[in-house]
Amino acid sequence: MRPLRRGRAWPLSCLLLLSLRGCPGVGAQADQDFQLQQPQDKVSVAAGEMLTLTCTLYGDSFLGPVKWLKGWGSGNETIYGPGGSFPRVTRTVDKSNTDFSIRIRDVHPGDSGTYYCVKFRRSVGGEELFRHGKGTEVSVTAKPSPPVVSGPSRRASPRQSVPFTCTSGGFFPSSISVKWAKNGTSISAQQPNVTAGQKKSSYSMSSSVRMELQEDDVRSWLSCEVQHPTLGAPLTGTYPLRDALRVSPGVLLDGDWRGPVELNRTVNFTCRAKDFYPGDVAISWLENGVEIKVENSSRALPTPRGLFEQSSVLEVKATEEKNGSAFTCRVVHDAQDPVSKSFALRVSAPSKEGLSDWPLADSGNLLAIYIVVGVVCTVLVLLVAAILYLIRAKQSKGKSSPSARLHEPEKSSEVTMQESDPNNLTYADLNFERERKSIRRLVELSQQSEYACIQPKPTPAADDNLTYADLDMVHLSKAPPRPAPRPEEPGSEYASVQIARK
């Protein structure tokens, strides 16, 4: 009976072992018949698409689940398995005992890695790994994000060099190229700086370039072009250089501020802000440092160059109180320091009877004017006096003045009127013009006349034999002596006195 009992006992123990690890010989045979196939070595998928991983079981298998793991070792992650919640993962053939292929939808660069299909079996201690596939390396190719070009944090003036940066991210693999251009013309730049994200599942890029701005860059564009293996055509980011440029305005003053303004006249002064960018400008007026309200201000208008200009008109009545007042045009552009232009208003007196206006000035300026006028008048008086003197001198030479010409005879015994030398005669030759005038009147008319006055005196007792005329020269002008008398014309009236010697 004992051998029978032994024979009956063996099958029970064998069944127990089969339920746990299988009977000797039988488990080894089962292991050899079981196969797990994971045929995919590498799979590449674009981000946003669906990833399919294949896993198939063949032969007899032990009780236990089939799972998908990402990674191997202590850092693995369960992607799919029975009893878990995996929203993006589904089986290709639901409830199949042999096909354990899965689909992962809407993949992203973080899904890159190596995936393993693993067969577990139950044991006394729980579940243990029984078979696993060779693994499938998954790479998710991601397109770079559209490049973004950023400029300086503050606007810069023309002829300043400023940096610009182009950034893009979320791409895989890491190979990427960048090209810069201004208005379509290439600009040299350094290689982009590529950095890896978490778990190296995606990368990001940064590229920089420096440029010197110009006034005409208000209409220029800067472009950054990115090329990646996942792109059929490059991606381009642009930046308008006007967003980085500031052109300060030039300030001009128009009006009669350089010269004096007639009293009580209303005049306009114009302040112009020219060639500035951006168009944010404020124009104000000040009188002696105090801001005054002005209504006549235009809005900023664009110019053909793409810049702006704006003007403001100040209306002023030229009163005596405003003479010498300082007016200032102040221009504030793009919250920068103000630019100012100033002038002093000069007021003049109104014109009278066609005379020129004389500006209202202080005592120093008035004294200088008087001195200049005095000098000019003095010169004019001297010039007129000299002209009159020359005219009178010329007239006196052209006319014969009434005169009495005296000829002193030589001591000769012969007296004759036919001699050629008039000095042989002793006579007084009196010539007068037709208009008879007294000697006194003649003297008053011309102080340059030469004349002699004959005054009789008693005959000197010493010499009774001489008859003579004593000539007393009472006045001779300083004019040069006249030449000897010439024979008078027939029309002359004269008297000749001849005295013969005894």
Domain end call among 243, 274, 297:
243
Count of domains for the chain: 5
- For the chain, helix (H) and strand (E) counts, in that order, are 4, 35
Residue with tokens 């128009």: 254
Say if residue 82 is in the same domain as residue 117.
yes
Say if residue 410 is in the same domain as residue 387.
no
Say if residue 257 is in the same domain as residue 317.
yes
Say if residue 429 is in the same domain as residue 455.
yes
- Using DSSP's 3-state secondary structure scheme, residue 299 falls into coil
Say if residue 304 is in the same domain as residue 324.
yes
In a domain, 175, yes or no: yes
Question: CA–CA separation, 151 vs 165, rounded Å?
Answer: 7
| CATH assignment at residue 234 | 2.60.40.10
In a domain, 13, yes or no: no
Element containing residue 445 per DSSP (H, E): helix 439-445
Residue 212's pLDDT is 95
Output the CA–CA distances (angstroms, integers) from residue 84 to 50, 67, 80, 81, in the order listed: 20, 10, 7, 6
Q: 337 is written with which tokens?
A: 């320091």
Say if residue 491 is in the same domain as residue 408.
yes
Residue 85's pLDDT is 87
With vertex at residue 120, the alpha carbon angle to CA 22 and CA 75, rounded to the nearest 5 degrees, is 145
Q: Assign 3-class secondary structure to 52-101.
A: EECCEEECCCCCCCEEEEECCCCCCEEEECCCCCCCCEEECCCCCCCECC
Say if residue 316 is in the same domain as residue 217.
no
Give pLDDT < 70 ranges for the chain: 1-32, 61, 257, 350-366, 397-502
In a domain, 5, yes or no: no
In a domain, 10, yes or no: no
- Which tens digit of pLDDT belongs to each residue from 60-88? 767 889 999 999 888 889 999 988 889 99
In a domain, 476, yes or no: yes
Q: List, in sequence order, every residue forming a beta bridge with 247; answer none if it has no partner.
A: 277
Neighbour tally for 142: CB within 10 Å: 24
In a domain, 26, yes or no: no
- Which tens digit of pLDDT belongs to each residue from 173-228? 899 999 999 999 999 998 999 999 877 778 999 999 999 999 999 999 999 999 99
Residue 368's pLDDT is 74
Domain end call among 243, 272, 304:
243
101 and 124 in contact (C-beta within 8 Å)? Answer: no
Question: CA–CA separation, 480 vs 103, rounded Å?
Answer: 145
From the centroid of its chain, how far is CA 20?
92
Residue with tokens 């040069």: 480
Residue 398's pLDDT is 59
In a domain, 47, yes or no: yes
Say if residue 471 is in the same domain as residue 407.
yes
- Using DSSP's 3-state secondary structure scheme, residue 345 falls into coil
Say if residue 420 is in the same domain as residue 430.
yes
Q: 72 is written with which tokens?
A: 């191997």
Say if residue 161 is in the same domain as residue 135.
no
Say if residue 404 is in the same domain as residue 501.
yes
Neighbour tally for 449: CB within 10 Å: 19
In a domain, 109, yes or no: yes
Neighbour tally for 213: CB within 10 Å: 24
Question: CA–CA separation, 122 vs 138, rounded Å?
Answer: 30
Say if residue 389 is in the same domain as residue 420.
no
CA Rg value for the chain: 66
Best CA proximity match to 163, nearest among 174, 152, 171:
152
Residue 484's pLDDT is 56
Residue 415's pLDDT is 37
Best CA proximity match to 432, nearest among 447, 442, 421, 445:
442
Residue with tokens 């994971």: 38
Residue 353's pLDDT is 46
Domain end call among 83, 113, 141:
141
- Residue span of the structural domain in which 394 resides: 362-398
Best CA proximity match to 138, nearest among 39, 38, 37, 41:
41
